[in-house]
Amino acid sequence: MAASTLKGVIRGDVPLARAIFNDPRKRRLIPQLQRDGWPIFDLAGKRCAFPGELRKAARKATRKAQRRWQRRSRTAEEAAAEARA
């Protein structure tokens, strides 16, 4: 019964990096993501995550970065407009 609850889990830093970044070489970033609150947990000595939870966290991080970028670009445009005035 317990095995069915872990079906589809991604195990290990390299597979997690491949799932999140599409690049297994970025495996060194996985511990930092775990500390930052991403849904990555330790299971039997390896970092693991569920694919659906990773996709949700990636969407949230992407939206947050887009809002931050829009806010910065808007501020830069306002500063440029004030400099011209």
Tens of pLDDT, residue by residue over 67-80, are 888 877 777 777 77
pLDDT at 17: 95
Is residue 1 a part of any domain in this protein? no
pLDDT at 85: 67
Is residue 19 a part of any domain in this protein? yes
Report the alpha-carbon distance of residue 15 to residue 6 in Å, rounded.
16
- Please tell me the total count of domains within the chain: 1
Q: Is 71 or 2 the better-scoring residue by pLDDT?
A: 71
Q: What's the whole-number average pLDDT of the chain?
A: 87
Reported as a pLDDT band with limits 50, 70 and 90, residue 4 is low
- What is the model's pTM? 0.70
pLDDT at 71: 79
Domain of residue 76: give its range.
7-84
Is residue 67 a part of any domain in this protein? yes
Is residue 59 a part of any domain in this protein? yes
